Chain A
């Protein structure tokens, strides 16, 4: 095996004049240097190890922090989702509440309308039944008057009974009977109400004349008429239900009066209406 010769002056072999003490010293220096280097390396390694440990600790801390943040973010995300769901639920509940409120209002209005309709039907029923409750013409006329006063709110009215083509006033309210003149069927406001066949006629242009005239007619037979001249103080105008009542008066009042007159005439107990009865 080829062994390289060390370069001159660099050989480890001690010079020929070197003493044993020198060698020992040299060895000691060499060892010291060796150990010094080892210590230095070991110290550097320890420092690096410390730094690495520190770094690991930092990374672990960072990792923990990030993990916690991630957890926190997830919780926030969950909460936000929950809030959104609750908001949606709230909106839905509000909408449903509004819907229910609207439905309740509508039901109340409907109930009130039904109550009002029921009240009107009761009035019509009572009025009709009372008109037909007696076969005495005087009772029927009195009932017609009560109906006009109490149900329609007529403060001044005249009830006429037909005698041939004459309309004789037989009952009044709010004006003396003596002050009311007879009317002729087909003439004037009261007598003219039979022309045209309307259930009742409303006139407003003549302030002294009647505001409403209700002809009482059974088929083609004229039975009488009702004229309203004024309403009660608290009644400002006729409403749609008053018109219903007047239509009923026109039909049922005429029938009731005709039946009562026929019955009275047949029994002879009460003579037909005449001017003398006024």
Chain B
């Protein structure tokens, strides 16, 4: 199976490390990390990603603005986006999905839940 490239956008190093740990269970996934939305946009110009996982509350450029920018980007407009956030209200979820996110997971996360959702988005067995 071909390698899939995933961008993890998270300002908390602890959360980022935990996500990378969880995603390491999916052998075909290669993970690139970004500290915030701006860093993510920079990294999106370096490669074609198959999946983007992003937090919402981040300095400089938050996750929702990032989703909006990605959806207007020619290269990545169709890439699945998964939100992983502490924001658990129905309105936040609705807003993120309306902006173009494909999945919405609230923190604290459980690695099996993240893995299952990533596999679903990437259509992996």
Find chain B residues with CB under 8 A from A143 CB.
14
Q: Are A130 and B110 in contact, with the CB atoms below 8 A?
A: no
Interface size on A, as a range, is: 20 to 34
Interface: A126 (CB within 8 A): yes
Interface size on B, as a range, is: 10 to 19
Q: Are B21 and A122 in contact, with the CB atoms below 8 A?
A: yes
**What 1/0 flags go to A57-91 for Cβ under 8 Å of B?**
00000000000000000000000000000000000
Number of A-B contacts (CB under 8 A): 60
Q: Are A150 and B108 in contact, with the CB atoms below 8 A?
A: yes
Find chain B residues with CB under 8 A from A150 CB.
12, 14-15, 18, 86, 107-108
Chain A nearest CB from B39 CB (Å) reads 18
Measured CB to CB, the nearest residue on chain B to A115 is B112
Interface: A119 (CB within 8 A): yes
Interface: A149 (CB within 8 A): yes
Q: Are A234 and B88 in contact, with the CB atoms below 8 A?
A: yes
Interface: A152 (CB within 8 A): yes
Beyond A126-B14, A151-B14, A234-B88, whether A116 also contacts B112 by CB under 8 A is yes
In chain B, positions 76-114 with a C-beta closer than 8 Å to chain A are: 86, 88-89, 106-108, 110-112
Find chain A residues with CB under 8 A from B17 CB.
126, 129-130
Q: Are B14 and A235 in contact, with the CB atoms below 8 A?
A: no
Interface: A146 (CB within 8 A): yes
Interface: A127 (CB within 8 A): yes
Q: Are B89 and A146 in contact, with the CB atoms below 8 A?
A: no
Interface: A56 (CB within 8 A): no
Find chain B residues with CB under 8 A from A234 CB.
88, 106
Chain B nearest CB from A148 CB (Å) reads 10
Find chain A residues with CB under 8 A from B38 CB.
none
Q: Are A116 and B108 in contact, with the CB atoms below 8 A?
A: no
Interface residues in chain B, defined as those with a beta carbon under 8 Å from any beta carbon in chain A: 12-15, 17-18, 21-22, 86, 88-89, 106-108, 110-112, 115
A126-B21, A150-B12 given; name 20 further pairs at CB < 8 Å.
A115-B111, A116-B110, A119-B110, A122-B111, A123-B18, A126-B14, A127-B14, A130-B17, A143-B14, A146-B12, A149-B107, A150-B14, A150-B18, A151-B107, A151-B108, A153-B107, A153-B108, A232-B88, A232-B106, A232-B107
A sample of 21 inter-chain contacts (CB < 8 A) reads A112-B112, A123-B18, A126-B21, A127-B14, A129-B17, A146-B12, A146-B14, A146-B15, A147-B14, A149-B107, A150-B15, A150-B108, A151-B14, A151-B18, A151-B107, A151-B108, A152-B108, A153-B107, A232-B88, A232-B107, A233-B89
9 pairs of A and B residues whose beta carbons are closest in the complex: A234-B88, A119-B111, A233-B88, A130-B14, A234-B106, A122-B21, A153-B108, A115-B112, A126-B17
